[in-house]
Structure 1
Amino acid sequence: MSMSVGGDAAEEKPITDINTTPLVDVMLVLLIIFLIAVPVVLQSVKLKLPDVRFDPTTTKPENVLLSVTGDGANCNVYWGMSPVTSTELLNRGVEKLKAEIERQGGVGNPALELPEAHIRGDVNTPYRCIGGAIYTMQRAGFAKVGFISEPPPGGNPRPS
């Protein structure tokens, strides 16, 4: 390496170029640190999935109670105690919602409380059956679709 120490008095001007070598060195070190640290952080994320606990729901007479069962080939949806097809489920959901809105005074009512759809799914039911019931009720206009479950035996119904 060589360095310019001096020369003519006319050529003595301060060097105005930025020395980027230290900057590049620091950036390379930071890049290596991040390349090593990020996979370690991503792989060490531990999750605790929620326990099966529930908040007690208040059952209102205007809410819709659906039961869903099924095996690998067939899905069975029950509105109350009567079996329905997906088309009947959609039509009954729309009719129920319209009737409830009219009963409460129409869409202009500021205190309008829409009914909810509560789904009880058998533990062995494929997700596509339950997901289909959720989708159909949302298409019918139900904004709140929830699940009904049983607490574990001897368990506290409220999370501690």
Structure 2
Amino acid sequence: MGFGRLERTRGDAPMSEINVTPLVDVMLVLVVIFIITAPLLASSIRLDLPKADGAQPGDAPRFVTVVLDKAGQVFVNDKPVTPPQLAEQLAAAAKANPDTEIQLRADQAVPYGRIVEVMGVAHKAGLSRIGFVAEQPK
């Protein structure tokens, strides 16, 4: 060993492999989070119509009231109509304003199929906003 000369030692060789332990840890934490939150996102739909709390009709800028009574008779704005007249009046309302809302009031005894028929006529006329009106329980 001479004056001013330092002996050089070989350092560690560079690591050529990726350390995957932190990646696995993060992935396991994410899996646990998803396992815990997945059941919370699933919900069931419970309906109790036609009586519901907070059953106040919304303030729509324009609306048409369609009523179905027990006998299946259809009324538009409290006037009885036939099925062709219903289609004509709803088409006229859609032509005047496509954002017109239908406020559908149906008796409890009306079969669901009849309600769907009226909804189909409304959709065919070009009205897609339908609100179901219910009464508050006493």
TM-score (norm 2): 0.56
CA contact (8 A) 1:64 1:79 kept: no
Stretches of structure 1 that go unaligned for 5 or more consecutive residues are 7-11, 70-75, 154-160
Give the distance between the partners of 1:44 and 1:99, measured in 2 at CA: 45
Q: Which amino acid aligns with 2:56?
A: D
For residue 23 of structure 2, the aligned residue among 7, 19, 27 is: 27
Distance 1:37 1:99, change over 3 A: closer
> Conserved in 2, the CA contact under 8 Å of 1:68 and 1:129?
no
Q: Secondary structure in 2 aligned to 1:133?
A: helix
Residue 79, structure 1, aligned to residue 74, structure 2: yes
Q: Secondary structure at the match of 1:31?
A: helix
Any gaps of 5 or more consecutive residues in structure 2?
A: 1-8
Q: Is the 8 A contact 1:63 1:116 kept in 2?
A: yes
Q: Match for 2:73: what amino acid?
A: Y
Query: Alpha-carbon deviation of 1:139?
Result: 1.0
Matches within 5 A, 1:130-149: 130-149=115-134
State the distance in 1 between where 2:113 and 2:91 align: 27
How far apart, in 2, do the equivalents of 1:93 and 1:38 lie? 50
Q: Is it true that 1:92 corresponds to 2:93 in the alignment?
A: no
**Aligned partners of 1:127, 1:39: CA distance in 2, in Å?**
38
Cα shift at 1:26 = 0.8
Matching residue of 1:67: 68
* Contact persistence 2:64–2:102 (CA under 8 A): yes
Select 1:123's aligned residue among 108, 112, 121: 108
Is 2:67–2:104's contact at 8 Å kept on the other side of the alignment? yes
Root-mean-square deviation (CA, aligned residues, Å) is 4.1
Give the direction of change, closer, same or farther, for the CA distance of 1:131–1:113 in structure 2 (3 Å limit).
Answer: closer
Q: How many residues align?
A: 119
